[in-house]
Structure 1
Amino acid sequence: MIKSFLQIGVVLFALFFVGACGKKSGEEYVKGDNLFNKGWEFVKDVDLPVGEIVSNEKLLWEGVSLPHSASIEPLVIKGDQWQGDCVYKKNFRIPKSLSGKHLGLLLEGAMQVAEVYLNGQLLHTNLGGYLPFYVEISQAVRFGGDNTLVVKLNNEDNPLVAPGKALDVLDFNIYSGIYRNVWLTVKDPVHITHELEVDHEAAGGVFVSYSNVSDKHSEVNVKVDIRNQNATNEKVGVEVILLDNNEVIASTTSETALATGNSTVVINTQLQVTNPKLWSPSSPYLYTLNVKVNKGGEVVDSRDLRVGIRTIEMTAKDGFVINGKPLKLRGTNRHQEYPYVGYAISDNANFRDAWKIKEAGFNFVRLSHYPQSQSFLNACDELGILVMDAIPGWQFFGNDEFQQNAIKDIRKMVRVDRNHPSIILWEASLNESAMSKEFMEEAHRVLHMEYPGEEVYTCGWIDYAYDVFIPARQHGKPPHYWNQYKKDKPLFIAEYGDWEYYAQNAGFNQKAYQDLSDEERNSRQLRGYGQKRLGQQALNYQESHNSNLQGNAIGDANWLMFDYNRGYAPDIESSGIMDIFRLPKFAYYFYKSQAGIGESVIDAFSKPMIAIANYYNDPSYLDVKVYSNCQEVELWVNGKSIGKQKPDRDANSTHISNPPFTFNLPAFTPGELVAKGYVNGKVVAEAIQRTPGHGTGLKLWIDESGKKLESGCNDIVFAYAAIVDSEGTILPMAKNSVSFSVSGDASLIGANPINAEAGIATVLLKAGENPGDITLSASSEGLENGLLKIRVQ
């Protein structure tokens, strides 16, 4: 079966959906968490009350699975993203045997005002599309009968809901739909609450913290929030077990507590762990924490969490310290969107984004400018990426109701994200917004109330109430920017490398850049703009990062990792070090070279690297920039060595970890460049760049980035077709039109055919319901077809 979506610029009526990978769902609901992603129906742009929408037999409902985007958007949205009302419904049956149980729905993300109805009854209205919400349905379910669940969504501009700013003036897009997973929870009336089921400050669910941490001993503190929905009093207890690869390394059992009828009780326990394996970006070791609730000697509920034991500290004097060791934070910013489908991406796709961030040499990511999915945070825990979590906000400070909703977002964000060892900073701040002192004081206070203790740090872009000051580099003035900041407060530069070159005329290098146009010297460069401008972008990031390191900042985060769409602009914001299709630009290799050899225990992130930032196709472009984390680099031109060099020693290389290597070719002779990286006199890495010839065919591959393409959960990957010569060298300036097709249980999403950019054409490939082999093919006039067989897990 072959499926393909229409050309770019057309908003498609066909609806794309993705789901949680590695978890199977069905209609046999059992005790615990059941994935509720399949069997939905969808309709949009219907201006009727919900009851009439559900009963209207003339409406054409489409069968969909979740997560789901209400609209497939063009590659470049140009200020015309879909906004409006849409409705999801699901018919389901709950067996009579579950009568008397607690039933709840968890929606991980639905954009952005949601009304939840069950059997015609409005159960909950949720404001905000970036945080999950929990709805108890126990009293509205018909046990043994048919049930109809309806979720009505509106993603139109709303000044009461953060980010609040209208889409046509917003620096990102808020997209649409139930774009993350939905879960049906079935529990005993006596159970561990969900973190959002109850409004308990610094409680709800399971709250894990650590004290007296060292590599010799650590205390793991576990707070368990238990709800008794029975009318009678119950005696309850908690057993907590810490496991290392299924081996019990610590356990404890609490004393019995009385949970009075229709109330909650919080039980605190503590584990003593000997010789713990501490979590860090270089060694992201995770344990499994198993929590059981006993009622009358019977286990009535349990929960497993992945946890990492670590201790952190941030001071102006010592910077960021983890497990007693200082660490400079080397970071980036991430928007969670994909082309075409917006936010509606699979858990595996979120993991792959985290993988690429780690692979690019970063140990830190700022979530810009909103909370992101649990699957992405789980990946940061697993891969070793430190995180700045953030409430939704950008250049908008609304009325009292808006501010109260933003404070609620702080509470929700902390409650659902607090157990992630990767999170070290909490941006309880509305980014670049004119917040009042009263709001900042309250935001700071509320976050510390929700997460009591010493190892929690708030941060904000205004230097007032927060623990850590996080300005963008451009908020300071050249030439020093923030390097002369003297206050006794940790400083982290949350954005750099873009705006100071885009709007402040090229940072320091006025003379060096005086012959460049504004377009040539800024950091907003698409891959198709050519090697000179990609080289300039990489130099901008090198210069500004090197400058940041000359001050006392605990770290910095470049703007940004991936290109993205903006509501207010008719083009793609292209300051990413990878494009919107996750293809690298030259700047990607600069950052990758900043990670030291052996920096991570994960082999994929610890190897020597070397990359040539020159296509070797332009006689006027004789500088060859080589990015590497090796000690020395030797460059060979057509089989002849032109020398071995140490890293550059110039004004832009004084403080960075691994400066690039710049070689000046005496002349251009088409052929082959070979760069060899040396450590302790031995070659440990090699890169080859050949002068491209005439295009002869297409080379195909997909990006799996640590996760194989998976069936049964609407997984999605980028599929690429490169125009290559007879030697397999990509033609970096090729713009050929490429058509994709797929056979087997899979489908394509996106513009198709599509013109190649910098020699590569891209489409989204979505796996179907069944494992097995699929075949991706691509064709272009005058070129040999490309074929790729893919095994779907």
Structure 2
Amino acid sequence: MRLSKGFSQLPALILLMGWGIFSSCEKPQELQPSVTSSFNEGWEFVKDGAKDWVKVTVPHTPKVEPLVVNDQWQGACTYRKVFTLKKAENEKVWIEFEGVMSNATVFLNGQKLTNHKGGYLPFVVDISDQLTDGENELKVNVLNVDDPTIPPGKALDVLDFNTFGGIYRDVNLIRKQKLYITHPVAADKPAGGGLLVHFDKVSKTVAEGILKVHVKNEFDEEQTVQAIARLTDKEGKETIFQTEEKAMAAGSDQEFLLQLEVQNPKLWNLQDPQLYELQVELVSNGQQVDIEKERIGIRKIRLTSEGLFLNDERIFVTGTNRHQEYPYVGYAISENSNWRDAVKIKNAGFDFVRLSHYPQDESFMEACDELGLILMDAIPGWQFFAEGQFSENAIRDIRDMVRRDRNHPSVFFWEVSLNESPMTPEFMEKANNVLKEELPFEDTYSAGWMDHPSYDLFIPARQHSKPPHYWNNYKDGQRNVFISEYGDWEYYAQNAGFNQTAFEGLKEEERTSRQLRGAGEKRLLQQALNYQEASNSNLRGKVLGTIGMSNWLMFDYNRGYANDIESSGISDIFRIPKFAHDFYKSQRPADQKVHHGMVEQGPMVSIASHWNQESETTVRVFSNCEEVALYLNGALVEKKKPTVNAMSDQLQAPPFEFDLQEFKAGELEAKGYINGEVVATDVVTTAGEVANLAVSIDYSGIPLSNEKQDLVFVYAKAVDSNGNYNAEFEGEVKFELEGKGMLIGQNPVKAEAGIASILYRSVPNDTTFQIKATSYELEATSK
């Protein structure tokens, strides 16, 4: 549950307040049917070669990196946690690690329990037999170095992303009685383990499916067991399913199968992603002995020669790619941070996310379930393949990924393919067979970057083909194609832009889609035009087998092999939008209703200009309205319909272009019209001299967590005396914190395009703090 935190804004000052109650999971407690608690606090950390232990909370990164990561830390480090836990009789206790990069060896009280290889999926350690009733020491040795046997396998200095180390996701303590529902990954059972729910027949009147419940009896004697499932919709309507009682022998495991039938189901879709709470109880001799809960959705997906269908309606999917990296802390971000990214993606007008190029935190998946975002789940891989242990570990990743994520309604496609890697036919066939073994259902769809017949969906990048048609006429539409990446490489490599008459006149650095937010208006407008042209080109194949497209990409990120930030994101690494962001936002129809309070929707209009001396005099306006009127200093420039040409004739909402001939300082106002009525406005004003810093925090509708460490962006925006944003300010800004928590990042830091950014990391139990931003250049005017 995400509770609100309030803040009030003052000139160059932000006051952020919150409160919470924390209950330690380490205190002895009476045995309950099932308890899962956060095990994130109370850790100590040391790098190999260092002497002093440092107190930390996970998620944690071994090194706070610079903004541009040229030499990411790699090596060995150790985490330890001393805790007291009085184990009840007939109790089982596990530790679940959601993500450790990438080779972890776990010890309890000096005894080695397990070694796990792989940085993107969970593993579970049974600590029951090694626990003492007094003090216990849990120790995790973490090795994060180049290892060609652990996917993605490729050495960091030639890898297109970074593999940030540490225990970078949550750690959980799980306590159950010895008669219990298993963990889906730890159980290691194809098409089984934990809870597996699937609906085979779905219509508006009835949904029919199955629920598998895997149960283990570790008592020394036979137990009688009954499984009861309660399915509850958001209005509280409950449907109950149950099995007959069964006898389970001591030391045995058994799968309980429940037939599900839901009358008039509330279906999950992109605009109204209805979810149900599934609660499964184990009952033995009239006593409840275990409970597991999941949020699930009921939907029908079909991939046919005619396209992709959701609940019997054909859809064309428009989306993006996402890396899970934050500046400075790498992968060590909070659950709420993942949610905020999902909100930003939905608000940008997208309905799809390709997880590039690895499985991401389950909290991100849960956010996509709730917001109505389709996911393409992917195993770790990029331009690397090897037979033997590497390929075996990649197959293991398929099993673990599917077992973790199979009940998420947002997951439509499984990318059991090593991205841009020279996979053998044998590996591809095995990868697909393993997927079908884990999910033996008609609507289990695999995706691969190679057009091998084993894959249900071919997912090439746009640049993997040639202009001008790219994939529009591929196999005459007889092969389902999803364009997994577009808009970046083809422009970076300068083999695109064929509809842009001025493309040849641009400098090399001006043509590319890789543009930092501080690159200036001309280059940011070119980036937006590249994405527009590529989107328009892709849409020409909409009726010829192509079922969707995802641009490269949503957020800027670091790469192991490069000495700069990969800046083709439509938002920068601090999640601040570029002009291209609002191009995509304008492609969501004005009358489309998304039934979620966090989603921005409806009519919109956005002027792609800061309107200063450097601005282009041909002003571009992104809008989903029928007409737009542009005013300069109150005088009408023109009222017009969208500009339709060879780069916009397939778009849902082509941009509007206005030729102002020359720059005149003042106010630009755009008014969007539908049916002759003004339904949206946007104003951009030529900024005067910077007088102040307007400081804000990016919650994206997800307030700071009371229970866990959280992470948010803090921005200081340069404004003039009237509050107008000045994008030309590049002065140094210093952030100061009063209260609990920590500021993370370069400090002081230079503003980029008028905005300075830093991270604030909160602490559980006390989120009362104050942040102030100042600049020596503004000292005389900001006080």
Q: What TM bracket, shorter-length normalisation? A: over 0.9
Instruction: Confirm or deny: 8 A CA contact 1:249 1:273 kept in the other structure.
Output: no
Instruction: Confirm or deny: 8 A CA contact 2:413 2:446 kept in the other structure.
Output: yes
1:362-417 C-alpha deviation (Å, 9 max, x unpaired):
00000000000011000001111110000000000023110000000000000000
Gaps of 5+ in 2: 1-19
Counterpart for residue 410 of structure 2: 422
Instruction: Confirm or deny: 8 A CA contact 1:779 1:785 kept in the other structure.
Output: no
Aligned pair 1:94/2:85, yes or no? yes
Say if 1:786 and 1:397 are closer, same or farther in 2 by CA, change over 3 A.
farther
- Compute the displacement of 1:569 (Å): 0.3
Q: Distance in 2 between matches of 1:413 and 1:787?
A: 52
Q: Distance in 1 between matches of 2:363 and 2:782?
A: 32
Instruction: Confirm or deny: 8 A CA contact 2:499 2:647 kept in the other structure.
Output: no
Which of 736, 749, 764 pairs up with 1:741? 736
Once the two structures are aligned, what percentage of the paired residues are identical? 51
Counterpart for residue 440 of structure 1: 428
Amino acid at match of 2:57: S
Counterpart for residue 45 of structure 1: 48
Which of 500, 514, 522 pairs up with 2:504? 514
Counterpart for residue 581 of structure 1: 574
Map 1:180-195 to 2 at 5 A: 180-195=169-184
Q: Distance in 2 between matches of 1:164 and 1:349?
A: 27
Instruction: Confirm or deny: 8 A CA contact 2:355 2:378 kept in the other structure.
Output: yes
Counterpart for residue 478 of structure 1: 467
Which of 471, 475, 482 pairs up with 1:492? 482
Aligned pair 1:451/2:443, yes or no? no
Instruction: Confirm or deny: 8 A CA contact 1:696 1:782 kept in the other structure.
Output: no
Instruction: Confirm or deny: 8 A CA contact 1:776 1:787 kept in the other structure.
Output: no
Amino acid at match of 2:636: S
- Compute the displacement of 1:787 (Å): 9.6
Counterpart for residue 168 of structure 1: 157
Aligned pair 1:645/2:640, yes or no? yes
Aligned pair 1:84/2:72, yes or no? no
Q: Distance in 2 between matches of 1:37 and 1:305?
A: 22
Counterpart for residue 657 of structure 2: 662
- Compute the displacement of 1:29 (Å): 5.3
Q: Distance in 1 between matches of 2:455 and 2:494?
A: 28
Q: Distance in 2 between matches of 1:605 and 1:763?
A: 25
- Partner of 1:775, secondary structure, is strand
Amino acid at match of 1:250: T
Query: Which stretch has the larger CA shift, 225-234 or 459-468?
Result: 225-234
Aligned pair 1:311/2:300, yes or no? yes
Which of 35, 40, 62 pairs up with 2:54? 62
Counterpart for residue 154 of structure 1: 143
Say if 1:515 and 1:387 are closer, same or farther in 2 by CA, change over 3 A.
same
Counterpart for residue 601 of structure 1: 595
Amino acid at match of 1:201: P
Counterpart for residue 53 of structure 1: none
Counterpart for residue 4 of structure 2: none
Instruction: Confirm or deny: 8 A CA contact 1:534 1:585 kept in the other structure.
Output: yes
Map 1:185-584 to 2 at 5 A: 185-245=174-234, 247-317=236-306, 319-464=307-452, 465-486=454-475, 488-509=478-499, 511-551=501-541, 552=544, 553-584=546-577
- Compute the displacement of 1:26 (Å): 3.0
Instruction: Confirm or deny: 8 A CA contact 1:467 1:489 kept in the other structure.
Output: no
Q: Which runs of 4+ in 1 moved over 6 A?
A: 785-788
Q: Distance in 1 between matches of 2:782 and 2:574?
A: 20
1:198-230 C-alpha deviation (Å, 9 max, x unpaired):
111100000011122112111242110001112
Q: Distance in 1 between matches of 2:248 and 2:49?
A: 47
Q: Distance in 1 between matches of 2:97 and 2:305?
A: 40
Q: Distance in 2 between matches of 1:184 and 1:619?
A: 56
Map 1:126-137 to 2 at 5 A: 126-137=116-127
Q: Distance in 2 between matches of 1:733 and 1:523?
A: 21
- Compute the displacement of 1:24 (Å): 5.4
Q: Distance in 2 between matches of 1:145 and 1:417?
A: 36
Q: TM-score, normalization: structure 2?
A: 0.94
Which of 63, 69, 86 pairs up with 1:71? 63
Q: Distance in 2 between matches of 1:599 and 1:655?
A: 22
Q: Distance in 2 between matches of 1:504 and 1:331?
A: 23
Instruction: Confirm or deny: 8 A CA contact 2:642 2:654 kept in the other structure.
Output: yes
Counterpart for residue 759 of structure 2: 764
Q: TM-score, normalization: structure 1?
A: 0.93
Q: Distance in 2 between matches of 1:480 and 1:22?
A: 59
Q: Distance in 2 between matches of 1:785 and 1:652?
A: 49
Map 1:619-630 to 2 at 5 A: 621-630=616-625
1:618-671 C-alpha deviation (Å, 9 max, x unpaired):
367211110111111111111011221111111111111111111111332110
- Compute the displacement of 1:740 (Å): 0.4
Q: Distance in 1 between matches of 2:765 and 2:115?
A: 36
Q: Distance in 1 between matches of 2:426 and 2:518?
A: 47
CA RMSD of aligned residues (A): 1.7
- Compute the displacement of 1:77 (Å): 0.9
Counterpart for residue 12 of structure 1: none
Counterpart for residue 138 of structure 1: 128
- Compute the displacement of 1:771 (Å): 4.1
Q: Distance in 2 between matches of 1:231 and 1:398?
A: 45
- Compute the displacement of 1:607 (Å): 2.2
- Compute the displacement of 1:263 (Å): 1.7
Counterpart for residue 680 of structure 1: 675
- Partner of 1:358, secondary structure, is helix
Q: Distance in 2 between matches of 1:159 and 1:787?
A: 54
Say if 1:25 and 1:684 are closer, same or farther in 2 by CA, change over 3 A.
farther
Say if 1:560 and 1:90 are closer, same or farther in 2 by CA, change over 3 A.
same
Which of 612, 615, 618 pairs up with 1:617? 612
Q: Distance in 2 between matches of 1:336 and 1:300?
A: 37
Q: Distance in 2 between matches of 1:361 and 1:25?
A: 40
Say if 1:787 and 1:697 are closer, same or farther in 2 by CA, change over 3 A.
closer
Instruction: Confirm or deny: 8 A CA contact 1:710 1:771 kept in the other structure.
Output: no
Amino acid at match of 2:159: L
Instruction: Confirm or deny: 8 A CA contact 1:778 1:786 kept in the other structure.
Output: no
Query: Which stretch has the larger CA shift, 22-31 or 473-482?
Result: 22-31
Q: Distance in 1 between matches of 2:21 and 2:346?
A: 22
Instruction: Confirm or deny: 8 A CA contact 2:320 2:550 kept in the other structure.
Output: yes
Instruction: Confirm or deny: 8 A CA contact 1:563 1:576 kept in the other structure.
Output: yes
Q: Distance in 2 between matches of 1:511 and 1:316?
A: 37
Q: Distance in 2 between matches of 1:649 and 1:455?
A: 39
- Compute the displacement of 1:196 (Å): 1.5
Q: Distance in 2 between matches of 1:786 and 1:548?
A: 50
Q: Distance in 1 between matches of 2:659 and 2:399?
A: 56
Instruction: Confirm or deny: 8 A CA contact 1:23 1:35 kept in the other structure.
Output: no
Q: Distance in 2 between matches of 1:505 and 1:742?
A: 48
Q: Distance in 2 between matches of 1:594 and 1:313?
A: 25
Q: Distance in 2 between matches of 1:425 and 1:786?
A: 55
Instruction: Confirm or deny: 8 A CA contact 1:493 1:557 kept in the other structure.
Output: yes
Aligned pair 1:34/2:21, yes or no? no
- Partner of 2:504, secondary structure, is coil
Q: Distance in 1 between matches of 2:579 and 2:208?
A: 45
